Amino acid sequence: MPEQPGKQEEKRGLTARKAENFSEWYTQVCGEQGARLCDLRYDVQGFIVHRPWAFRMLRRIYEWFEEEVERDGHEPYLFPAVIPEQNLLEEKEHAGFMPDVFWVTHAGVEELERRVALRPTGETQIYPMYGLWIRSYADLPWKGYQSRITTFRNEKQTRPFLRGREFMFFETHDVFRTHEDALAQIRKDMAMMDAVAWRKLKVPFVFFRRPQWDKFKGADDTYASDTMLPDGRRCQISSTHDLGHNFARAFDVLFKDEDGKDKPGFQTCFGPGIWRIFAAVIAVHGDDQGLVLPFGLAPVQAVIIPITFAGKEDAAAKVLAKARGLEQDLLKAGYAVKLDDSAQTPGFKFNQWELQGVPLRIELGPKEAEQGMLTLARRTDRGKVKVKESELVKAIEEQARLVDAEIERRASGYFKGNTKDARSFGELKRAIGEHRGFVRAPFCSMGKDGEACAEKVKEATTAVACGVPLDKPEKPAQGAKCVSCGKPAGLVMWFAKTV
C-alpha cells in the first residue's frame, strides 16, 4: 500500500478555526481544500458549480420539502425561466425588483422584439396563469409549487449557498377564499420549516413576523425564519408572504363566489431557501475538522475503513472480504454505506471522511475480523464503541441517534446561549457589540411608525430589527419603554446583525 497520498490530496484539510475566523473557515470548508461542495473556478462572478457531495444533499432537501408541500395538497408545475417585462411592472411595489433583474435581449445576432427577464422569483410568471385557470370558489384553495429550479438576481456581493446571482429556488403559490385561510397557511408553512429545517436538519430558527418596513415587495405582511450563523449574524432561511389582494388585483386572479360575484383571491407564497438552509447546516454544525452532517442528510452515512498492514497480504484479504460482506449487509438494511478500499493510508481516510462530515466510521482490523468484532466511531464527539459484527445494524441505528442528538444539543445550545435581553438603548448597544446573536428589547411598534426607531438602532449598532416570533411573541414588562424613542413599548423586538 503506498504511504504517500496523491499530490493533489495533500492539500486537503482546514487551517482556519471556525470560532476565530468564521468567514475564512466557511470558504475553506466549501472549497477545494475542504469538503468540495462547490467550485468557483467556473469564472462567472456569482455563478457556482454545485459539486456531487453538495448536490446530493441539496437534492435531498428538495425531496423533503416536496413531500411536505404535497402532503399539504400542493401540485407541482414548471414555468419558463424567462418572464415578459410587462409582467414585472404589473404590481406596483413588486416592480421594485427591476434593478435586480438580468435580461435576455438577443437571440443570436437578432435583437428580441421584447426583452425578457430571467426570473428573479415566480409571482409575476405564475399569477397571470392562475388568472386563467381559477374559475370559482369551488377551485379554492388552489395550491401549487415549483421545485428544483434556479432563479437569478443581480447581487453585488456573493457567497456560496448564502447569496448568488443564480441560486436554488423552491416556491409555493396559494390562493384562498378568505384571509383566515391564508393566515392558517402561514402557520402550516411554519410547521413545514419545523419538520425539515429543525427536525431533519437540526437547524434552529425563529419564525418571525417582519416589521412593516422590511416586507417583500408587493406583500401586506412578510413572515420569515432566521437562524444564527457562528459569527452571530442572523441568516434568513425561509419566507412566507401574505400577499393580500395585491397580486390578485394586478393579475386578475379572480373567482366567482357563491353570490355570483367575481372576487380577488387571498394569496400567499412560501419559499424555503434551499441554499440558505444548506449553508446553515454547513455553518452551524461544522467544526474545525470539517462538515458535521445529520444522519438523514449524509450522502454516505457510514464509511467502512479496513485497517491493513503492508506485508500481511493474507490478513488484508480476509479483512477486505469481511468488509465487503458488511457493506452488503448495511446496504440491504437501507443505509448509505461506502467501503473505502482505496490505496490511501487509514489515517488519511479518517481525515478525509471527517472533512466530508460522514456521521459514522466503521473500523475493521485483522484481529477484530478474526474475533467477529468491529469499531464504530462517531463524527460528532469522536466517541468509539466496539460491537459484535452480528449486531452491527442495531448498533448503527443506536449510534446514528447519538450523532443526531449531539448535533441537536450543540446547535440549540449555541442558539439559546446567544439570545440575550436588553432593557435600554445602552444595554442593546453593548449586547450587540459584545455578544453574538439575537438581542431582545422592548420596542414601540412593528408598523411604519417604528421604522425611525429601528433606523436609530441600526445606525448605532448595524443590527436590524428581525421582528416578533409568530408563535410566541414575548410581552414587554409592565411599564417598559421603547429602547429607541422612550414611548410605551408595545412589543419585544428581536435585533441582530444580518448576513
Contacts to Zn ion by CB under 5 A: 444, 453, 482, 484-485
Minimum CB distance to Zn ion smaller for 376 or for 483: 483
Cβ-Cβ contacts under 8 Å for 55 (sequence gap 6 or more): none
Minimum CB distance to Zn ion smaller for 470 or for 485: 485
Cβ-Cβ contacts under 8 Å for 174 (sequence gap 6 or more): 74, 141, 142, 143, 144, 182, 185, 267, 268, 269, 270
Residue whose C-alpha cell is 429545517: 197
In whole angstroms, the minimum distance from the beta carbon of 492 to Zn ion comes to 13
User: What 8-state DSSP symbol labels residue 281?
Assistant: I
Minimum CB distance to Zn ion smaller for 195 or for 480: 480
In whole angstroms, the minimum distance from the beta carbon of 490 to Zn ion comes to 9
Encode burial over 313-348: b for 16+ CB neighbours within 10 A, e otherwise: eebbebbbebbeebbeebeeeebbbbbbbeebebeb
In whole angstroms, the minimum distance from the beta carbon of 457 to Zn ion comes to 9
In whole angstroms, the minimum distance from the beta carbon of 477 to Zn ion comes to 16
Instruction: Report the amino acid identity of residue 55.
Output: F
Minimum CB distance to Zn ion smaller for 149 or for 485: 485
In whole angstroms, the minimum distance from the beta carbon of 452 to Zn ion comes to 8
Q: Give the CA distances from residue 239 to residues 37, 153, 269, 273, 314, in Å, rounded to whole numbers and listed in that order.
A: 25, 17, 8, 8, 59
Minimum CB distance to Zn ion smaller for 236 or for 484: 484
Q: How many CB atoms lie within 10 A of CB 213?
A: 16
On the 0-12 / 13-18 / 19+ scale of CB atoms within 10 A, 359 is buried
Minimum CB distance to Zn ion smaller for 211 or for 218: 211
In whole angstroms, the minimum distance from the beta carbon of 181 to Zn ion comes to 34
Minimum CB distance to Zn ion smaller for 436 or for 440: 440
In whole angstroms, the minimum distance from the beta carbon of 483 to Zn ion comes to 8
Encode burial over 153-182: b for 16+ CB neighbours within 10 A, e otherwise: bebeebbbbbbbbbbbbbbbbbbbbeeebb
In whole angstroms, the minimum distance from the beta carbon of 463 to Zn ion comes to 15
Cβ-Cβ contacts under 8 Å for 220 (sequence gap 6 or more): 242, 243, 244, 246
Could you give the CA distance from residue 68 to residue 189 in angstroms, rounded to a whole number? 9
In whole angstroms, the minimum distance from the beta carbon of 486 to Zn ion comes to 7
Minimum CB distance to Zn ion smaller for 466 or for 482: 482
On the 0-12 / 13-18 / 19+ scale of CB atoms within 10 A, 437 is buried
User: Assign residue 206 a region: left if phi > 0, alpha if psi is -120 to 50, beta otherwise?
Assistant: beta
Tell me if residue 366 falls in helix, strand or coil: helix
Minimum CB distance to Zn ion smaller for 302 or for 496: 496
